[in-house]
Structure 1
Amino acid sequence: MRRALVVRLDSLGDVVVCGPAIRAVAATADSVTLLAGPRGAEVARLLPGVDHVEVFDAPWITAGAHPVDTAAVAGLVSRLRGRFDTAVVLTSFHQSALPTALLLRLAGVGHVAAVSTDHAGSLLDVRLPEPPDDPEPVRMLAVARGAGFALPPGDDGALALVDDLPAVAGLPGRFAVVHPGADAPARTYPLVRWREVVDRLVRSGLPVAVTGGPDERALTSLVAGDHGLDLGGRLSVAELAAVLREAAVVAVGNTGPAHLAAAVGTPVVSLFSPVVPAVRWAPHAGRRVVLGDQDAPCAGTRARTCPLLGHPCLAGVHPAAVVDAVHDLVRVPS
């Protein structure tokens, strides 16, 4: 019976895909605390199995990270000291778990498990190899299993959120969601094409709600145009999850809400830039369509800004193809 800490320090989608691994830890631990970054903390509270959330902005994880703050590091160590018997550090394939493991050792965590290709010395009790090339939820679950945690009987390992999501008023009875934003320009479908997708869907008889964060209001207003319901900047993460759950289908780029849609069981049309591999990062959904040239020259570069003129991997996807994919998933007559 252990007090367990699970660590995932990057963004919303990265936290969502760790849900099955967290449930595996929760199956045998007395309590589970999730240590998350600022962009993942809100959704962390929506994951089954999470009892408490701690937040830390890790300068070795966050894109555009701030300088190392001695007081912030000392404060984290102080908050964690003496609270946990075991920790599982979850990372993407290009991240190192060792800085986190060092802080956990300073906080007195007696048993630490993580993936590390580098020599870990005394920082890790369980040093795991990089998991196989599978969907990210499957890979994170493999790390938890290597650390000694397994899903309970009856848990199929799918993405999931808590059932208790807030109600959002004013939604159409049957509608699609278009989420046009992403945190890297290389992962975005051209905005004029998103707007055409909205227009075509509405003309086909399927209302559209356009979602986005507080800093994306101008973007969602442009994409919604005169026909879509603009929800940009109006929703908390929990409310966004509720809207995605109510939707018949979601059309979205490679960004956190794609994984959020998969976690609430909504079919996904994924406009996926191959700068990261689709086999790992396409939404782990029961019903999905992945669009975009997965063999484009940018494949696997992890570029945040498209290195190619004209953004061909996504710009080559015609809005009609997106609409057809939506129709296929919701069976709306053309």
Structure 2
Amino acid sequence: MTALLVEGVERIAVLRANALGDLLLALPAMEALRRAYPSAKITLLGREWHARFLRNRPGPMDEVVALPPISGVTSDDGSSAPGEIYEDLRARRFDIAVQMHGGGRNSNPFIRRLGAGLTAGLCTPDAERLDRWVPYIHYQHETLRYLEVAGLLGAGTCDVEPRVAVIREDWAELNQTLGRLPRGLVAIHPGAGDPRRRWPPERFAEVADRLGRPVVVTGTEAERDVVGQTLAAMKRPARAVIDELSLGGLTALYAACDLLVSNDTGPRHLAAATGTPTVGVYWCGNLINWGPLSRRLHRPLISWTTRCPACGRDGTSPGIEDCGHRSVSWVGDVTVDDVLDQAQDLLR
């Protein structure tokens, strides 16, 4: 692998401009790049929220450049990148530009326009080729996928689970917003961006009640309804936290918990990255790409539903046309006892 190291590298750009879980699962690859090129300046090409969250936070990136809306890269609205963004990025004279953003149909042309000395990343069969590339195959764990990309540049690692530092500002925000937290706190996150990944809220409520611990139920404004349904189904009192904390404050909250029980969603990755044990409910296909890679602290419960519960259409083939039944849960065959057993085992 050392034969793939590039000599004289001073500046590296990494494109990873998507959601929270995407960032977290790519962190081991970025850490590998940092170890392989310790004196290089690593720039994350991301979004505004990346810049806010990563400011003053220890990690492999030296800076974040927040990209404007670019169709297929940071948005899907058909917008094209203003010419000055390319001028600004080319002026940084990157030695290496790394595409950790997906299959490359839209992101590889963007990467090649940066004028870097070497490009590396992923390619679907119809994507523009980079100087060094590995094929993008849908069913591959995201962390291992991007470690393969780092490997193209001679970077390796044995750390496969992402880690995020909780900084002083995170703790200060948490204390100011929520005050003193009870000991033995368990977090429940019943939401997910795709409703098909949501376990029924009444089952989260039953797990929370049967654990007999202080509980906080987290969610975004878009998940307010499912948080409310979970609280309404609970027999024991619980505290709702809906968009009261920044991403940094939420990081501290999860770090303060003994356990998170969640759907397959960004907050599960965030809690895991702080070192908090997690129980996650996963659809079988998503577990391959997004599930935890270790089992000492993280227990995925797997739904083996392969066809839409509403119409029976197969959901296992990548790129299959959406049947439109997005409000129907695909993880309903996971039982409360399954989740409770794993949660109690982790708490012991």
Same fold (TM over 0.5): yes
Match of 1:232 among 225, 228, 242: 242
Tell whether 2:321 aligns with 1:314.
no
Query: How far did 1:198 drift?
Result: 2.7
Match of 1:288 among 287, 298, 306: 298
Query: How far did 1:15 drift?
Result: 0.6
State the distance in 2 between where 1:305 and 1:323 align: 32
Query: How far did 1:221 drift?
Result: 3.5
**Alpha-carbon displacement from aligned partner over 1:137-184 (angstroms, at most 9, x marks no partner):** 122111111133334xxx634311124252122321111110111111
Query: How far did 1:77 drift?
Result: 1.4
Supply the AA of the counterpart residue of 1:281.
Answer: W
| Percent sequence identity over aligned pairs | 28
Tell whether 2:146 aligns with 1:140.
yes
**Alpha-carbon displacement from aligned partner over 1:256-315 (angstroms, at most 9, x marks no partner):** 1111122112111111123x331221134542222232353255356888749963x422
State the distance in 2 between where 1:306 and 1:272 align: 20
Q: Residue 261 and residue 301 in structure 1: after superposition, are their counterparts in 2 closer, same or farther (change >3 A)?
A: farther
Tell whether 2:9 aligns with 1:13.
no
Contact 2:104 2:127 in 1 (8 A): no
Moved more, 49-58 or 255-264: 49-58
Q: Residue 134 and residue 108 in structure 1: after superposition, are their counterparts in 2 closer, same or farther (change >3 A)?
A: closer
Query: How far did 1:33 drift?
Result: 0.9
In structure 2, the residue matched to 1:53 is: 64
CA root-mean-square deviation: 2.9
* Helix, strand or coil at the partner of 1:189: coil
Tell whether 2:339 aligns with 1:327.
no
Match of 2:159 among 134, 156, 160: 156
Q: How many residues align?
A: 316
In structure 2, the residue matched to 1:118 is: 125
State the distance in 2 between where 1:52 and 1:175 align: 34
Q: Residue 227 and residue 306 in structure 1: after superposition, are their counterparts in 2 closer, same or farther (change >3 A)?
A: farther
Tell whether 2:15 aligns with 1:4.
no
Supply the AA of the counterpart residue of 1:158.
Answer: E
* Helix, strand or coil at the partner of 1:211: strand
Supply the AA of the counterpart residue of 2:134.
Answer: L
Tell whether 2:310 aligns with 1:300.
no
Query: How far did 1:5 drift?
Result: 0.7
Supply the AA of the counterpart residue of 2:316.
Answer: G
Contact 2:44 2:64 in 1 (8 A): yes
Q: Residue 318 and residue 98 in structure 1: after superposition, are their counterparts in 2 closer, same or farther (change >3 A)?
A: closer
Query: How far did 1:249 drift?
Result: 1.0
TM-score, normalisation: structure 2: 0.80
TM-score, normalisation: structure 1: 0.83
* Helix, strand or coil at the partner of 2:91: coil
**Alpha-carbon displacement from aligned partner over 1:4-57 (angstroms, at most 9, x marks no partner):** 111112210011001011112222052111112456555555561111112234
* Helix, strand or coil at the partner of 1:182: coil
Tell whether 2:190 aligns with 1:184.
no
